[in-house]
Structure 1
Amino acid sequence: MKDLIVLVADKNMEHALKGILRRSEALNIRPITFDIFIHPRRDPGVLNTAPNFLRLHMAKYRYALVLFDREGCGCNETAEVLEGRVKRELQQSGWQNAEAVILDPELEVWVFVDSPHVPQVIADGDEQLCSQKLAHAKKNRLNKPARPKELMETLLREKRIPRSSSLYLKLAQKVSLSNCSDPAFLKLRKILQEWFPPR
């Protein structure tokens, strides 16, 4: 039996989680065995059918984790309301060790942390351009870019870097996990630390 099954909305999220979950020391957890599945119907599919999708795998995993973007799921409820709804549905379907983490507004909010690796990966090392675009971007209540995906795409376009899921893997492998202050990331790390404490 493996430790963890993760259901995500897209390949970018899959690559980001793959990079993060392999960094057990940085997360302060024991090394874990896991599989990540991408829902074919993306964010709305994860929101609306995660229990049915994961029910088929219940005997093979100890824990289940569900991640998707609030902005892409088609609902206007807060991330907290959606997390509660999905967790409740997972428990009703038989998963007692399951959690939902909703990225608000989307995965790219995790990209913009204070790290020299961010400009290396998404701006071809151009720290000045990255800082300039970040300084002019509209911010949310946490002083993060309000439109992180658009900001990342602007930087990639200006530097002629092709969009690729491998960028998310590179960021997840290199960027310090202790610098990410996004509530969804902090929740993810706390869940993993509770489920898989270091030996």
Structure 2
Amino acid sequence: MRDCIFLLADLGMVAAFKGFFSRQGFHYALGTAPFNVNPQSDIICDRAGNDPGIYTRAHELLRGYQSSHRNAVIVLDNAWEGSPGVEKIRADISANMERIGWEKRRFVVIVIDPELEAWIWQDNPHVAKAFGFEKSPSLKKWLCQQALWPANAPKPPDPKRAFEKTLKVSKAKIPSVVFQKICSEISFKHCADDAFGLLKSTLQQWFPDE
């Protein structure tokens, strides 16, 4: 059996996860034992490419993977019209997964609050490089001047707005390309996001570094 299937809500997430799992020794960044992820076959996306689709259909999309993959990771954003909130999303998807036969210990539902952009912001030259940002001063200082990143904050309070603003003035114009480049380069060692913490701790339970 394969180690893990990742079901993601949109192409931006797919690019980010492919970028991360394509790097050599990715397990060191997660604090796990080595495990296998084929970025082409173990990372899949809802055909409609949206969060509501994952919320309502994740269990159906993963039904056929129960016999081929030991574990499943489901990832979606919390910020979408009609979202019932992080806890409700997790509870409903989990109930549907268990109803079709997935054991609770074999899957995890990751709800990023508010959205994926929260994971990729840090004061790191790799971030500016991924955007193709060439303005002076640094990207963080420029966003500070735009009132989008307070000087004493670890990341922008509105990560998506900061992402979109930076994209407009940078060479890179395709969000998925930026996500993939950033996640193939930056360290997530000090990422304090709750959703990322849940993902990391779950993978550590599934693949303990003994």
Shorter-chain TM-score range: 0.7 to 0.9
Aligned counterpart, 1:107: 116
Moved more, 75-84 or 127-136: 127-136
User: Runs of 4 or more off by more than 3 Å in structure 1?
Assistant: none
Distance 1:129 1:40, change over 3 A: same
Is residue 68 from structure 1 mapped to residue 69 from structure 2 by the alignment?
no
Structure 1 gap ranges (5+): none
Q: Is the 8 A contact 1:123 1:155 kept in 2?
A: no
Alignment of 1:151 onto 2:125 = no
Counterpart CA distance in 1 for 2:32 and 2:171 is 37
| C-alpha deviation, 1:32, in angstroms | 2.0
Give the TM-score normalised by structure 1: 0.88
Q: Distance in 2 between matches of 1:32 and 1:125?
A: 37
In structure 2, runs of 5+ residues without a counterpart are none
What is the aligned partner in structure 1 of residue 58 from structure 2?
Answer: 50
TM value normalised by structure 2: 0.84
List per-residue Cα deviations over 1:161-186 (Å, max 9, x = no partner).
21242221211121111121111111
**Secondary structure in 2 aligned to 1:53?**
helix
Gap change, CA 1:126 and 1:79, over 3 Å in 2: farther
What SS class does the counterpart of residue 32 from structure 1 fall into?
A: coil
Letter in 1 for 2:36: T
Q: Which of 148, 172, 175 is residue 137 of structure 1 equivalent to?
A: 148
Stretch moving more, 81-90 or 38-47: 81-90
Number of paired residues? 196
Q: Percent identity?
A: 29
What is the aligned counterpart of 2:137 among 128, 133, 137?
128
Cα distance 1:127–1:55, how it changes in 2: closer, same or farther (>3 A)? farther
SS at match of 1:174: coil
Q: How far 1:192 sits from its partner (Å)?
A: 0.8
Structure whose residues are more often helix by fraction: 1
Q: Which has the higher mean CA deviation after the structures are superposed, 162-171 or 129-138?
A: 129-138
Distance 1:127 1:101, change over 3 A: farther
CA 1:58–1:15: 2 relative to 1, 3 Å: same
Matched, 1:26 2:29: yes
Question: Does the CA contact (< 8 Å) of 2:119 and 2:196 recur in 1?
Answer: yes
Query: Partner of 1:68: helix, strand, or coil?
Result: strand
After superposition, the C-alpha distances for 1:94-115 in whole angstroms (9 at most, x for unaligned) are: 1111110011111111111232
**Which stretch of structure 1 is more off in the superposition, 189-198 or 13-22?**
13-22
Q: Which letter maps to 1:59?
A: S
The match for 1:15 is: 15
Instruction: Name which of structure 1's ranges 45-54 and 115-124 shifts more when overlaid on structure 2.
Output: 115-124
Describe the superposition over 1:66-86 as per-residue Cα deviations: whole angstroms up to 9, x where unpaired.
0011113x3333213312221
Higher mean displacement: 4-13 or 145-154: 145-154
